[in-house]
Amino acid sequence: MMRTLLLLTLCVYAVCAQDLEYDDYDDTSSTSGNKTGKVDARGHRPTTSGRDTYTPHRYSPPPINTGSRYRGRPTPAPARGSQSQEKEPMPEAGGCTHAAEEIGVLCPTGCELQTMLLKQERNVKTSINELRPQVNELSRSTNNIYNYVNSMSSSLRERQRVVSDNGRVVHQYTDQVEEQHAFIKETVDTVFPSNIRVLQGVLDKIRLKIQKLEKAIQGQREGCKEPCMTKCPIPVVSGKECEDIYRRGGRESQMYLIKPDAFYPPYKVFCDQTTQNGGWVLIQNRLDGSVDFGRRWDEYRRGFGNIAFDAGKGHCQTPGEYWLGNERISQLTKMGPTEVLIEMQDWTGSKVYAQYRQFTIQSEASNYVLAVDGYSGNAGNCFLDGALQLFGENRTMTIHNGMMFSTYDRDNDNWLPGDPSKQCSREDGGGWWYNRCHSANPNGRYYIGGGYTKLMAKHGTDDGMVWMNWKGSWYSLKAISMKIRPYFTTSG
């Protein structure tokens, strides 16, 4: 019982300690010194003293902002001292001859005989005195042995009585076992066959249902031999990127083919040719939760989702949910100075944006390090400033600039990298440039309605489509998109 109570106490303590680590803490460090107290912001993972550390500074190359596209005793010797020579005792054997020859021969007188006898008497008394305690000890031992034998006899009689009682109990249980055996045999011989027949009937019904399902599946397979694709005519106009297409006359926002590198085949993208005079390559789009963004590293590298679909006008003029692919994004941003536009919308229809005039994604060798600069907009500068609800080191943990890309199978974040129990991407629902962990989470889980809670989240964290500097940690946006184009002073 005491073990159970102790275990329960430890469990309660562990739960409380976990809650303290992630949620209930008082942030007293502030770079501006203007605010302290409990903060209900979950984009970061606060440090716990003595348990883990946080390294705020990590070198990363700056964004491309120059050039043009048209980027482990000896043992002491015994002490010597004077040794005294022991005096050799001279034995006495009696008679006319001494035991030692050097003393000579001397026959004893009567007095000497008396002296010798007295000496022998003393020796005999000494031996008697030595034997007396031994005799007493032997007497006590004899008494102990006698008592032990009596105790063993009593124990033997008690064991014989217990054996007799056990024998009676065994006979009683044997009778009960025989009764139960008879009952089981009757059940096996009569009840089980009846139940088996009933189960056989149920099994036959299930088999029929399985056959129907197999037929339905086979029918679906026949209908899905051809890949399910949105068939849209590809515009004649193409180019290295959407800006190039715009300059060649492609002014409609729709799906196009681009070919940034002559040594690689072209691929489809959605070009936004209307926002801020167009030329934008849509690299990320979330609008209805139809595509799962909790993907592996290789999928984020290649890209996934639906580029666009036909809304009934004969052209793919409506963008779908997709991620263009880190390899392609890196290629486009390293061609020269690139800007990124992040547009978002809440569930009331309100819209805001964040724009960075310098945006570069390094190659896979660096795990696609993010580098941005030059913020403008009204959504809040999450990439460079982190979450404004936090202060000091806690805010620094939410800055995304300079971070490597992380997925749930490739941990590159700043929260104890390599520790499988501390992975931002696994907790927060998607691949992203996580620090420890985020102030923005555009590739998180899609929650309908906006507000959500820890109980709704898979790991109890703010894993929605979050932009903390606009709506906080526990509001998931309705839509968000990321677009890039070459940076130039004036739009044309």
User: Cα–Cα distance between 374 and 378 in angstroms, integer?
Assistant: 14
Residue 321: helix, strand or coil by DSSP?
A: coil
Q: What is the pLDDT of residue 76?
A: 52
* Amino acid in position 490: T
**CA pseudo-torsion sign 94, 96, 100, 102:** positive
In sequence order, which residues have a C-beta less than 8 Å from that of residue 201 and are 6 or more positions away?
Answer: none
For residue 282, give the nearest of 290, 291, 273 by alpha carbon: 273
Q: What is the pLDDT of residue 419?
A: 76
Question: DSSP states of 375-440 as a string?
Answer: EEESS--HHHH--TTS-THHHHTT--TTPPPBBTTB--SSSSTT-TTS-HHHHHSS-B--SSB-SE
For residue 433, give the nearest of 487, 356, 488 by alpha carbon: 356
Q: What is the pLDDT of residue 20?
A: 36
Q: What is the pLDDT of residue 407?
A: 95
What stretches of 273-387 adopt beta strand conformation (E)?
280-286, 304-305, 308-309, 318-319, 322-323, 338-345, 351-361, 370-377
Tokens of 490: 């004036």
**CA pseudo-torsion sign 243, 248, 252, 254:** negative
Question: DSSP states of 95-152 as a string?
Answer: TTB-SSGGG-B----HHHHHHHHHHHHHHHHHHHHHHHHHHHHHHHHHHHHHHHHHHH
For residue 57, give the nearest of 402, 356, 362 by alpha carbon: 402
Q: Which phi and psi angles does 387 have, rounded to 5°?
A: -80, 120
Query: pLDDT digits over 162-173, tens only?
Result: 888 888 888 888
The model's pTM: 0.61
User: Cα–Cα distance between 64 and 364 in angstroms, integer?
Assistant: 17
Question: DSSP states of 300-317 as a string?
Answer: HHH-EE--EE--SSSS--
Q: What is the pLDDT of residue 105?
A: 57
Q: Are strands 37-38 and 254-258 parallel, antiparallel or unpaired?
A: unpaired
For residue 268, give the nearest of 257, 277, 278 by alpha carbon: 257
User: Cα–Cα distance between 278 and 252 in angstroms, integer?
Assistant: 9
> In this structure, how many other beta carbons lie within 10 angstroms of the beta carbon of residue 299?
19
* Amino acid in position 121: E
Q: Are strands 338-345 and 479-486 parallel, antiparallel or unpaired?
A: antiparallel
Query: pLDDT digits over 278-331, tens only?
Result: 999 999 999 999 999 999 999 999 999 999 987 766 678 889 999 999 999 999
pLDDT tens for the chain, 492 residues long, are 555 554 555 454 444 444 433 333 333 333 333 343 455 677 888 776 556 677 776 667 888 877 766 544 455 556 555 455 555 565 655 555 555 566 555 565 677 778 778 888 888 888 888 888 888 888 888 888 888 888 888 888 888 888 888 888 888 888 888 888 888 888 888 888 888 888 888 998 999 999 999 888 888 887 777 655 556 777 888 899 999 999 999 999 999 999 999 888 999 999 999 999 999 999 999 999 999 999 999 999 999 999 998 776 667 888 999 999 999 999 999 999 999 999 999 999 999 999 999 999 999 999 999 999 999 999 999 999 999 999 988 899 999 999 999 999 999 998 877 777 888 999 998 999 999 899 999 999 999 999 999 999 888 899 999 999 999 999 999 999 999 999 887 544
In sequence order, which residues have a C-beta less than 8 Å from that of residue 437 and are 6 or more positions away?
Answer: 43, 44, 45, 397, 398, 413, 415, 424, 427, 428, 461
- CA–CA distance from 254 to each of 270, 310, 314, 444 (Å)? 6, 10, 11, 26
* Architecture (CATH level 2) of domain 242-486: Alpha-Beta Complex (3.90)
Cβ atoms 439, 42 nearer than 8 A: no
Query: pLDDT digits over 171-197, tens only?
Result: 888 888 888 888 888 888 888 888 888
57: left (phi over 0), alpha (psi -120 to 50) or beta: beta
Q: Are strands 308-309 and 304-305 parallel, antiparallel or unpaired?
A: unpaired
